[in-house]
Chain A
Amino acid sequence: MTAQDTHGSASAEVAARVERRWATIAVIIIVVMAGLAAFAGIHRATMPQPRVEITDPSRLHLSGEFVESNLGSVLEANGNVTVHAIGQQYSFTPACIVVPVDTPITLRATSADVVHGILIQSTNVNTMLVPGYISEQLMRFSKTGDYLMPCQEFCSFGHEGMWGKVKVIDKTDFANRAKGGGRLSCVGQ
């Protein structure tokens, strides 16, 4: 073996060692990231909706939970709030959702025609509305006020005009308005 060869294999060894070290660091970074995602999921900080539910968009107005009279917010017996909404070209129904502050809210929504999306600005509420399927999203607002709720998915030429609103109001205010039963929206306010 010549001196050249010895030198070559020594440098190859150094290179291999440095490479291994870097590869190990890279793998650790990735394992930590995936671990954090799993941890957050297990603790239900945020979790994708667990079940796939279907609904026929051509019959939404005839029966089931998305009939016109069932859209809007309702105060449940346990104090939680459920909101039903639909998206269609190019608006949401209801166009303005009213909910109480500091209350667990379940949003159940679907689309009557093409794919839409619901995004509530300044929050992490963000879900797709795919016709044929029901989207469920848990939410909770810590501050009262008005939030913009644009459609975030391209739904053809009127997409840019599809902006809804969320009005977060005081808890007792909401309870008073919910007294008569029925579904609430901002309409008439």
Chain B
Amino acid sequence: MLVNRKLILAHFWLAFVVFGIALTLGAWQMFIRSPIGTWLSNPELYYRSLTAHGTVMGYVFPTLVAMGFGYAISESALQQRLVGVRWAWAGFWLIVIGSVMAVIPIALGRASVLYTFYPPLIGNVFYYLGVVLVVVGSWIWVALMSINLRVWRKANPGAPVPLAMFANVAGSYLWAWTAVGAALELLLQIIPAAAGLKATIDAGLARVFFSWTLHAIVYFWLMPTYIAYYTIVPRAIGGRVYSDSMARISFILFLVVAMPIGMHHTFADPQVGAGFKFIHSAFTALVALPTLLTVFTICASVEIAARLRGGRGMFGWIKALPWDNPMMLALAFSFVMLGFGGAGGLINMSYQLDASIHNTQWITGHFHLIFGGAIVIMYFAIAYDLWPHLTGRELIDLRLIRTQLWLWFIGMIVTTFPWHWVGILGMPRRMAYFDFGDPAIAPQALSVTFSAIGGFILLASGIMFIVILARGMRALQVDAGPYRFALAVHEPKTVPVALNTHALWVALMIALTLTNYGYPILNLALSSGTSVPAVYVGAQ
């Protein structure tokens, strides 16, 4: 039952259009910093582009996908009309206004601070206000998801919340709370400085606030992907979810342990002591647990589909999987990239190993593999799966869809593997260009060239994706039927309260954040003499 299809389509289309623009900027950036495109040596344009690319890919695109998918889940999993449609549109328009407000100063070169802000570097105040509006718009979605679940609970007292909605609401709470870190940084520190109300800022404290957001935001980006793993893939390939409760435990674990780990982004920072760095490192190791559980549960779910199709033997069943099904393909690619990206993440998480790759191109490779690779390829899959239900028209280009997914996978590998390699060699990130004439840097030229080629493969794949969806808007009309989620092998008739509600886990999430962040933040906020003069972008 998808009633508010226009609302959901608006979110998805806006998401994919801004994604297309940011993807084009990304490919262009890789081209001009590679040895094949050295004709442009204006770093200012590069950093404008980088700021726009990061802001869109980090804040606008995944937020819109999570919101659109969240509304679709709410209506189809709960089988209930969305409550608060007007508010939902208000949230959407806030994001539109915020994005435009942020993009104008970026285009004018007045906010080249990249998407992680970098205080005491301060850009134009409208850039930050735009980002705040995007976040506020998404908070309306958080509230609506919570309200819709509450309305459903009233009508279905004690019934197990459908897995997709349980996970969706967990993801929205995670987002609401992790955004608080950056919100505090923006409202208390950056915006007063950008508006000229304050001339100084504590850069160390700002970095700690931002780390609160910067890691758990990745798990917010990841939520739609994991929801697709559990609730779409098994149904699409004719299998069943191996374990409903394992899925719930994984989402709860994300909610609880994704938050108190962000300080691993400050391993090399002087304003955080060794003790908290170790604690955050240990918690970061812990967040591998829900992913390991998920990999197991999804592999087992897929195996069920293969055996139902006649697959046999210890590994022989893998052959029996429906490899021509785009959903199967997307899942396999996503898992491969998650495997490599996850292994890289475990290296980043350890203070000792992090020292050799901190802030190098390795990190760029790592998060492009996880976000751009493992996560975004499932965003594609979600769109393909939902599209006929949203448009009432069938998606017929199955071959084109498979080619698009293959290209994205290949492009991502070709882009990120060389980045990991030059990162190990010590190539710093966020540089507009390199002097490949320097004999010490020259050997990295080939790797950087490969990355640039990968960028264009990704661009080609992204264009294909948008073309496929656009053609799907004009294809033959079909009745796609109600949108369904995968069933579990053992559908739960009752679920323990702890696995059916969020309150306990939200409380734990907040408590863990306060214990892991409270002391360092208070300590920095109360110490005097640590504020430094703000440095305004573009001011001479």
Chain A residues with CB under 8 Å of chain B are: 8, 11-12, 15, 18-19, 22-23, 25-27, 29-30, 33-34, 36-38, 40-41, 45-54, 56-58, 89, 110, 113-115, 117, 119-122, 124-136, 146, 148, 150-160
Contacts and interface: CB of A to CB of B under 8 A. Distances in A.
Q: Give 8 closest A-B pairs by Cβ, nearest first.
A: A121-B426, A26-B292, A152-B359, A152-B428, A133-B270, A160-B431, A48-B274, A135-B270
Interface string B180-212: 000000000000000000000011100100000
Contacts of A132: 202-204, 271, 529-532
Contacts of B530: 54, 132-133
A159 B431 contact: yes
- Residue in B114, B349, B360, B532 whose Cβ sees the most chain A Cβ within 10 Å: B532
B288 A29 contact: yes
B397 interface: no
Contacts of A33: 285, 288, 346, 349-350
A130 B204 contact: yes
B39 to A, nearest CB: 16
B273 A52 contact: yes
A126 B268 contact: yes
B356 A152 contact: no
Contacts of A36: 350
Contacts of A122: 425-426
Among A25, A146, A153, residue most surrounded by chain B Cβ atoms (within 10 Å): A153
B314 interface: no
Given A113-B535, A132-B202, A157-B47, A52 B272 contact: yes
A48 B286 contact: no
Given A26-B293, A115-B119, 19 more contacts: A22-B296, A23-B293, A33-B285, A36-B350, A37-B350, A48-B272, A49-B274, A113-B532, A114-B120, A124-B355, A126-B356, A132-B532, A133-B204, A151-B428, A152-B360, A153-B359, A153-B430, A155-B121, A160-B432
A68 to B, nearest CB: 19
User: Looking at A23, A135, A157, which has the most chain B CB atoms within 10 Å of its CB?
Assistant: A157
B360 A51 contact: no
Nearest to A156: B121
Interface string B425-444: 11011111110000011000
Contacts of A45: 352
A154 B532 contact: no
A70 to B, nearest CB: 18
A45 B271 CA distance: 21
Contact of B288 (A30, A51, A129): A30
Contact of A131 (B114, B120, B434, B440): B120
A51 B119 CA distance: 22
A156 B243 contact: no
A155 B431 CA distance: 10
Nearest to B441: A148
Could you say which of A121, A129, A130, A134 has the most chain B C-beta atoms within 10 Å of its C-beta? A130
A119 B428 contact: yes
Contacts of B269: 128, 130, 133
22 contacts: A15-B490, A18-B300, A22-B293, A26-B293, A38-B278, A38-B282, A48-B351, A56-B529, A114-B121, A115-B203, A119-B359, A119-B360, A122-B426, A124-B355, A124-B356, A125-B355, A130-B203, A130-B269, A133-B530, A152-B358, A152-B429, A153-B118
